[in-house]
Amino acid sequence: MIEVSVDKKQLTKIKRYMSDDRFKEVLRKVLIAAGLELEDMIVTNIDERTSNTGRLGQSWTVKDISYDKIKVFTNLQYAPFVEYGTRPHRPPYKPILRWVQLKEKSRAKWTYRRAWAIWHSIAKKGTQEKRYLRDAVDKFSLSKWVDELIRTWENV
């Protein structure tokens, strides 16, 4: 799990307004908007860096946990393996075959050979990391969202 949080200066300012329920609701909305931006950055990285069927990119969700916490996540079990890569291992063949057939839009005989070639490559070398999540988090700026919220709230 990767967490993104505000710095201590911003947290001190935010705490001054926490007794106001209106501020809590605005904070919740700002965090959801920030989460949607992060989700968009993640999906863009997935589209640019992975050769996929679209399932991983479509699986990301933003959920508000409370007024001061949101969660940007996917429930796909293979997502961490795409993010971090894998060591050499023997993956199941059928999902690779289905992926090749979807990718190539064909059920020709050569797709079986291509799937076996991919299987052997993974068994020998593993898979490379794609860093779609960590790079998005590194570029993401929660501070800009919170600064704008504080500036707007203090000028109201």
133 and 122 assigned to the same domain = no
pLDDT at residue 54 greater than cutoff 90: no
Radius of gyration of the chain measured on its C-alpha atoms: 21
pLDDT at residue 1 greater than cutoff 80: no
66 and 34 assigned to the same domain = yes
For the chain, where are the E strands, in sequence order? 61-66, 69-73
pLDDT category of residue 144 using cuts at 50, 70 and 90: very high
The residue range of the domain holding 143 is: 1-85+128-156
| Predicted confidence (pLDDT) per residue in 64-111, tens digit | 999 999 999 999 999 999 999 999 999 999 999 998 998 888 788 889
What are 122's two structure tokens? 């993974």
Half-sphere exposure of 86 (CA within 13 A, CB side): 16
81 and 36 assigned to the same domain = yes
70 and 135 assigned to the same domain = yes
What are 115's two structure tokens? 């799937």
23 and 72 assigned to the same domain = yes
The answer to whether the beta carbons of residues 56 and 74 sit under 8 Å apart is: yes
pLDDT at residue 40 greater than cutoff 90: yes
SS3 75: coil
Length of the chain: 156
Question: Structurally, how many domains does the chain consist of?
Answer: 2
136 and 117 assigned to the same domain = no
Which string of DSSP letters, residue by residue, matches 51-73? ---SHHHHT-EEEEEETTEEEEE
pLDDT at residue 53 greater than cutoff 80: no
45 and 120 assigned to the same domain = no
Residue 30: per-residue pLDDT: 95
154 and 102 assigned to the same domain = no
47 and 96 assigned to the same domain = no
Residue 156: per-residue pLDDT: 66
Residue 106: per-residue pLDDT: 79
4 and 37 assigned to the same domain = yes
